[in-house]
Amino acid sequence: MNTATAALNGRWAGLIVEELVRLGIRHACIAPGSRSTPLTLAAAAHPALVCTVHFDERALAFHALGLARGGGRPVAVICTSGSAVANLHPAVVEAAMDRMPLVLLTADRPPELRGCGANQAIDQVGLFGVHARSSIDLPVPAEDYPAEALLRTLDEALWCCRYPLPGPVQINVPFREPLVAPEDPVPGIPAATWPSDGRPCTVWHPARRAAAAPTLAEVCRALAPMERGLLLVGRLRDEAERVAAERLAGWLGWPVCADITSGLRASRVPAPWLRHYELLLDADPQGLDSPDGILHLGGEFVSKRLLGRVAHWRVPVVRVTDDSRRLDPAHRVSLRVDAALEAFVEGLMEVSGVEAGPPRPSAPAWTRRLLSAEARIATALTAALDGPGELDEPSACRMVSRGLTGEVGLFLASSMPIRDMDRFAAPDGACVPVYCNRGASGIDGTLATACGVAAGSGRRVVLVCGDLAFLHDLNALALLARQRPAVTVVLLNNDGGGIFSFLPVAGVGEAFEPYFGTPHGLELGALARGFGLACSQPTSREAFRAALAEALAADQSSVIEVRSDRAANVRRHRELTRRLTDALDVGVTTG
């Protein structure tokens, strides 16, 4: 056995892991494999790293994404070569779209085994294409390669992972065999010279994220003439952004539409909150007409109706975000400010005092009309969903929003769950952080990501997901069974793709059920129990409330399955829309 090669591999992997730790990484997600052995052993031996091992690379990568989202720092993923790398791709796409920093350490064959038919060798350099902020192919470990060159390459990769647009980076790490030797490794690579205070070789500092005073003055001038200003608060990422958005909402006094992913649906800050704007637009498409200007903070909205109204209104839109991408699907943004939200709010309030004072509150009559419609919607919704009645998907979502405490995080799966929570969440529940995979809005990796969020944030998490998302991530039930803090899954099981029943394709006839409805007929509770998870199946609202309270009191993850019928679910949604339309008396002009 060539012990020198094995020793070089061990030293090389040790240098990589140590530098990543110095760059702030504290969690490594590892899939078992042979070619990645040196990296796995180095990560397992490092005292500053918490390692999670999972057999499914796809779920593992989504778990890492959740860790990055919940913990607010980059997470490393270690996998072997070949198709294992390709299995990371769905999570890489989501991380790229949602600005989540992942460091993908993809082990590889050495150059002489690439492109020649060697086993388990694919072209994995740059495999993630435009979805990786950077893709680096390291050299094979060699005695004459300077350690400092290796470490500074890693420093640059981690910079690309964080700035200017956070996202995933790939570091491809080829190794020659023997990968590891049972003997003690011998010196091979020159020792690196690290700062004694634990810093990496190179410290990179980001540019300022605050808006300049002239920019803020221009914003003041743009907002000043708006007599019916509307504040839109999209997805927010952390508590600092939520506090800043609340502060601005109270200061402006404009009607506020806050997306469910903002975490502000139950905000207690005094402001004219339109907490049921999506239902208002469903019951009365003209119900929000007509603002003469919009200030949009943060990310995108779940509501397609709201986006459609923004496109229809053709009024000035001021957009504030620290995301350098265009983010203007309605093509209506007239003034764009790239800045951290908290710095923007602080600066705007300072500059406005110098310029002309705060923007005027929206016209009192217009605001009162909107708040009156909001109150009627709220009253009708309370009557329909809060009292005794059938347990269905809208009432389950409503009860989840009411059953959370301030210490819990809420994770919403794509498709119908996030839409129903956006529509039916109660405004008098706890104000909690809301997480989701809305970068690419796929249903894949939902369970694994929710587990990662719980581990990264240190919060217990309630996940609301549909049955197809549950099945799509079935391997992640192994993660869920051992997850601490626990994850409570509220599983809305309508035996198929419920959202398609709301789309025009529902009218195509016989082809709809097998090709779009896609019933599976599986006992999902039995599947959960097969992974050692408790699963309850309440059949009434009262039983659901009790099951949720019991699950949140336990320190183990569990599943609460709510069974429903897709056709009945469509009828229920339409019935609720009719109730709200009647409550608004839409026959009366509201323009």
CB of 536 closer than 8 Å to CB of 561: yes
Token output for 198: 């634990």
Query: Do 519 and 439 have their domain in common?
Result: yes
pLDDT, position 183: 62
Where does the pLDDT of residue 591 fall: very low under 50, low under 70, confident under 90, or very high at 90 and above?
very low
Q: State mean pLDDT over 178-188.
A: 64
Cα-based torsion angle of the residue sequence 235, 72, 420, 313 in order, rounded to the nearest 10 degrees: 10
- What's the gap between Cα 296 and its chain centre? 19
The pLDDT of residue 360 is above 80: no
Query: Do 55 and 129 have their domain in common?
Result: yes
Mean model confidence pLDDT for the chain:
92
Query: Do 297 and 350 have their domain in common?
Result: yes
| Tally of residues, the chain | 591
Where does the pLDDT of residue 188 fall: very low under 50, low under 70, confident under 90, or very high at 90 and above?
very low
pLDDT, position 195: 80
Domain final residue, candidates 313, 345, 371: 371
Domain final residue, candidates 144, 174, 204: 174
Contacts of 272-276 with CB under 8 Å at 24 or more apart are: 272/362, 272/367, 272/370, 272/371, 273/249, 273/374, 273/427, 274/370, 274/371, 274/374, 275/374, 275/378, 275/427, 276/374, 276/377, 276/378, 276/381, 276/423, 276/427
pLDDT, position 541: 96
The pLDDT of residue 184 is above 60: no
The answer to whether residue 11 sits within a structural domain is yes
CA distance 465 to 437: 12
Give the residue ranges of DSSP H helices in 105-182. Answer: 147-162
pLDDT, position 203: 87
Q: What is the pLDDT of residues 241-280, one digit of tens each?
A: 999 999 999 999 999 999 999 999 999 999 999 999 999 9
CB of 91 closer than 8 Å to CB of 167: no
Query: Do 438 and 535 have their domain in common?
Result: yes
The pLDDT of residue 235 is above 90: yes
Nearest C-alpha neighbor of 313 from the set 228, 252, 395, 236: 228
Where does the pLDDT of residue 186 fall: very low under 50, low under 70, confident under 90, or very high at 90 and above?
very low
The answer to whether residue 219 sits within a structural domain is yes
Where does the pLDDT of residue 378 fall: very low under 50, low under 70, confident under 90, or very high at 90 and above?
very high
> Cβ neighbours of residue 399 under 8 Å, at least 6 residues apart?
541, 544, 545, 548
Query: Do 268 and 367 have their domain in common?
Result: yes
pLDDT, position 194: 81
Domain final residue, candidates 341, 371, 401: 371
User: Three-class SS of residue 136?
Assistant: strand
The CATH number for 499's domain is 3.40.50.970
CA distance 438 to 272: 27
Query: Do 339 and 420 have their domain in common?
Result: no
The answer to whether residue 589 sits within a structural domain is no
The pLDDT of residue 588 is above 80: no
Q: State mean pLDDT over 458-468.
A: 97
> Cβ neighbours of residue 582 under 8 Å, at least 6 residues apart?
380
Query: Do 28 and 121 have their domain in common?
Result: yes
The pLDDT of residue 587 is above 80: no
User: Three-class SS of residue 5?
Assistant: helix
CB of 485 closer than 8 Å to CB of 458: yes
Token output for 172: 């491809």
Q: What is the pLDDT of residues 18-75, one digit of tens each?
A: 999 999 999 999 999 999 999 999 999 999 999 999 999 999 999 999 999 999 999 9
Where does the pLDDT of residue 356 fall: very low under 50, low under 70, confident under 90, or very high at 90 and above?
low
Query: Do 221 and 348 have their domain in common?
Result: yes
The answer to whether residue 530 sits within a structural domain is yes
The answer to whether residue 229 sits within a structural domain is yes
The pLDDT of residue 414 is above 60: yes
Helix-helix angle 393-403:566-584, to 10 degrees:
70
Q: State mean pLDDT over 577-589.
A: 78
Q: State mean pLDDT over 184-206.
A: 70
Nearest C-alpha neighbor of 155 from the set 37, 25, 275: 25
Where does the pLDDT of residue 402 fall: very low under 50, low under 70, confident under 90, or very high at 90 and above?
very high
Nearest C-alpha neighbor of 30 from the set 105, 100, 138: 105
pLDDT, position 589: 37
Where does the pLDDT of residue 468 fall: very low under 50, low under 70, confident under 90, or very high at 90 and above?
very high
Lowest mean pLDDT among 344-348, 362-366, 368-372, 440-444: 362-366
The answer to whether residue 198 sits within a structural domain is no
CB of 579 closer than 8 Å to CB of 282: no
The pLDDT of residue 343 is above 50: yes
Q: What is the pLDDT of residues 206-227, one digit of tens each?
A: 776 788 889 999 999 999 899 9
CA distance 356 to 360: 10
pLDDT, position 357: 62
Q: Containing domain of residue 436, as a range?
A: 386-584
Query: Do 312 and 364 have their domain in common?
Result: yes
Run of H or E residues at 334: strand 333-338
Run of H or E residues at 378: helix 364-385
CB of 341 closer than 8 Å to CB of 231: no
pLDDT, position 545: 96
Where does the pLDDT of residue 192 fall: very low under 50, low under 70, confident under 90, or very high at 90 and above?
low
23 φ, ψ (degrees, to nearest 5): -85, 0
Lowest mean pLDDT among 109-113, 186-190, 345-349: 186-190
The pLDDT of residue 85 is above 80: yes
Q: What is the pLDDT of residues 506-556, one digit of tens each?
A: 888 889 899 899 999 999 999 999 999 999 999 999 999 999 999 999 999
CB-neighbour burial class of residue 195 (10 A; exposed 0-12, middle 13-18, buried 19+): exposed
Evaluate the omega torsion of the peptide bond into residue 272 and state whether it is cis, within 30 degrees of 0. Answer: no
Q: What is the pLDDT of residues 161-172, one digit of tens each?
A: 999 899 999 999
CB of 406 closer than 8 Å to CB of 382: no
The answer to whether residue 59 sits within a structural domain is yes
Biggest CA-to-CA distance, the chain: 87
Q: What is the pLDDT of residues 114-146, one digit of tens each?
A: 889 888 888 999 999 999 999 999 999 998 899
Query: Do 83 and 122 have their domain in common?
Result: yes
The answer to whether residue 206 sits within a structural domain is no
The CATH number for 318's domain is 3.40.50.1220
Query: Do 166 and 41 have their domain in common?
Result: yes
Question: How many structural domains are present in the chain?
Answer: 3
Query: Do 71 and 111 have their domain in common?
Result: yes
